[in-house]
Amino acid sequence: MTETLPGHAVDADHYRRALAVHAAGVVVITAQSEGIPVGLTATSFSSVSLDPPLVSFYVDRGSTTWPWLRSADHFAVNVLASDQEEVAARFARKGIDRFAEPTRWRPGPLGAPLLHDVSAHLICLPHETADVGDHVLVVGLVAEAHVYSAGRPLLYHQGRFGRFLAHS
Ligand SMILES: Cc1cc2nc3c(=O)[nH]c(=O)nc-3n(C[C@H](O)[C@H](O)[C@H](O)COP(=O)(O)O)c2cc1C
């Protein structure tokens, strides 16, 4: 274990290795901006508040999707199911049309794309944003929530996708 003096930041390599052992659920954030569907894979999604119902995620300030997301009047959180690792990989890949075949999606009630076969959709209205380090914290007010299956989630751990196995 490497010790670090108080007030000093750990180096990137130790940071990455420590965070890699933290398993996370995987979502795809989608929106429609100027008629164009946009979306990106995120593991930084989290619940924030019940009253009011708020959720959050962090987006890299260098993300080419962020300027489009920022100008959208709402966004959708697509909670991926355990068999959707290809969807997760596709929405993290640059230089492709992420919404082209084989991606299956439909426009949601307010227009943001909803991916098919996910565990749940949350439709969110922008609540606030804050610059935090090299990311932007995006907080959304959950306007609608639709749960389709209480099935197994897609997880990300040590750079790989996997499944959840309950003890009982
Ligand atoms: C498993 C996984 C989780 C990711 N989580 C995030 C995240 O929480 N925030 C983020 O900004 N990027 C995250 N990314 C990276 C983005 O999905 C990817 O860099 C982005 O889509 C790049 O395209 P863009 O520049 O078009 O936005 C993640 C990628 C993967 C594979």
pLDDT given for residue 3 in this prediction: 58
pTM: 0.95
Q: Range of 120's domain?
A: 24-163
Query: Which residues surround ligand 1 with Cβ inside 6 Å?
Result: 26, 40-44, 57-60, 63-65, 88, 92, 94, 156
Q: Residue 67 C-alpha to ligand 1 middle, in angstroms?
A: 14
pLDDT given for residue 2 in this prediction: 54
Confirm whether 94 is domain-assigned: yes
The number of the ligand 1 atom at minimal distance from the alpha carbon of 64 is 25
Confirm whether 4 is domain-assigned: no
| Domains: count for the chain | 1
Q: Residue 60 C-alpha to ligand 1 middle, in angstroms?
A: 8
Confirm whether 135 is domain-assigned: yes
Cis peptide before 52 (omega within 30 of 0): yes
CA 10 to chain centre: 25
pLDDT given for residue 67 in this prediction: 97
pLDDT given for residue 151 in this prediction: 77
Cis peptide before 67 (omega within 30 of 0): no
Confirm whether 149 is domain-assigned: yes
Please choose from 19, 22, 26, 41 the residue to mutate so as to test ligand 1's pocket, defined by most ligand atoms within 8 A of CB: 41
Confirm whether 121 is domain-assigned: yes
> Which residue's CA is minimally distant from atom 19 of ligand 1?
92
Phi, psi of 71 (to 5 degrees): -90, 0
Confirm whether 19 is domain-assigned: no
pLDDT given for residue 86 in this prediction: 98
The answer to whether the beta carbons of residues 8 and 20 sit under 8 Å apart is: no
Q: Residue 92 C-alpha to ligand 1 middle, in angstroms?
A: 5
pLDDT given for residue 13 in this prediction: 96
For the sheet containing 36-42, what is the strand order? 36-42, 27-33, 75-79, 120-132, 135-147, 54-60, 46-49
What is the number of alpha carbons within 13 Å of residue 40 lying toward its C-beta?
19
Q: What is the CATH number of the domain that holds 134?
A: 2.30.110.10
Please choose from 60, 96, 99 the residue to mutate so as to test ligand 1's pocket, defined by most ligand atoms within 8 A of CB: 60
Phi, psi of 152 (to 5 degrees): -75, 145
Predicted confidence pLDDT, tens digits, the chain (168 residues): 555 667 789 999 999 999 999 999 999 999 999 999 999 999 999 999 999 999 999 999 999 999 999 999 999 999 999 999 999 999 999 999 999 999 999 999 999 999 999 999 999 999 999 999 999 999 999 999 999 977 799 999 999 999 999 998
Give the Cα separation of 91 and 70 in Å (integer): 17
